[in-house]
Amino acid sequence: MKQKSQSLRPRPIPERIYLDHAATSPLRPEAKAAMDEGIAIWANPSSPHAEGRKARAALEDARERIKAALGLGQIAKDYELIFTSGASEAAALVLHNAQAGARLVSAVEHDSILGTAPDAERLPVRPDGALDLEVLREAVQRERPLVAVQSINSETGNEQPVLEIAEIAHEAGGLFLCDCAQSAGKWPIPPNADLTIVSAHKFGGPIGVGALLVKDYAMLKPTGGHERGYRRGTENLPGVLGMAAALEAANDPYVAPEVLEPLDQLAEEVRVAGGTWLTDQLSNPTPYIHAIAMPNMSASAQVMRFDMAGIAVSQGSACSSGTMKTSHVLQAIGLDDELASRVIRVSTGWNTTREEVERFCEVWLELAKR
């Protein structure tokens, strides 16, 4: 990752302000340029002819670049990397094919995990969002369990103690799957995870491509097809090249602290206004995702009002089948339905500016006074 920060020179506020990077981040220009190059290398990487070999060489070069850019340092060479269509496919690949017994997942996992393994045992989290490690220690006392935990929660931004979770799983002879969709490209991935999920469009890469890092292919049942026999479907070379370029272009820190400073002031204003700054409750909050409850206004109304003001944010509760359903994440950390219904998510990314954050804060305060 590049050791640099975003420019802090005042810039004009754009007509639209995008603060929903946890859902997807805009494509970085470096990624787009790499994808354009990839489109010109149009052959199937599995073909034996010269055109295919050229595509294969580009694919394998990108594979090594991605491993190097994920922050693993010297141990990157010890990992295998399977390209997928995104985080959801990577999760399904592991949950269906891991050479393990019981599937254990936290109660605040992404729907791609919970939906793929509906019969998995759900482990509770504490009110501060952290996985209950005492419950985990009891739950892993079975033959070779697979423990799946998201490194950073996509709704609250809370970081789980993944290094300790991995140790507990390993002490019991189990495997640890870490969903790094929200952390890859922003922080190094945990070095003791057995399997790690990465999604390109969360850090400025293209939609439709991701990866599964594997410490040992023997941890998975082969399915046949491409990617050493562990994934069916021709590799998306333009997407892979865009993913590599986006990772290499990422700043360190991912978003300059100065860009986010207005949110610190807003936190106090939220408390004074009678709202809830959910970060106050969390065990280990991270700076790029915030969950905020406004007094006396539903999340759906807030999202619409912000959209009318030119700002894109998202809802902390989801609409399912025409009825409002409380977010399972907010429910798991103990928020009642009324409070959860007023929570929105604000998430920043690689191209967020201080002026945009300041404008969001202004609009939040204006809406809270109505």
Which secondary structure element, helix H or strand E, spans residue 198, and what is its range?
strand 195-199
CA-based end-to-end distance of the chain: 43
What number of other Cβ atoms are within 10 A of residue 20's Cβ?
Answer: 18
281/298 Cα distance (integer angstroms)? 20
Q: Distance of alpha carbon 296 from its chain centroid, rounded? A: 30
48 contacts: CB under 8 Å, gap ≥ 6: none
Largest CA distance in the chain: 68
72/79 Cα distance (integer angstroms)? 9
- Could you list the active site residues? 319
Strand residues in 103-171 grouped as ranges (E): 103-106, 121-123, 146-150
- What is the torsion angle, in degrees rounded to the nearest 10, for the CA atoms of residue 95, residue 96, residue 98 and residue 102? 70
Q: Hey, CA dihedral for 246, 190, 72, 90, is it positive or negative?
A: negative
Find, among 169, 176, 183, the residue nearest to 149 by Cα. 176
Q: Hey, CA dihedral for 324, 327, 328, 330, is it positive or negative?
A: negative
Which secondary structure element, helix H or strand E, spans residue 347, and what is its range?
strand 343-347
At 332, the amino acid letter reads A
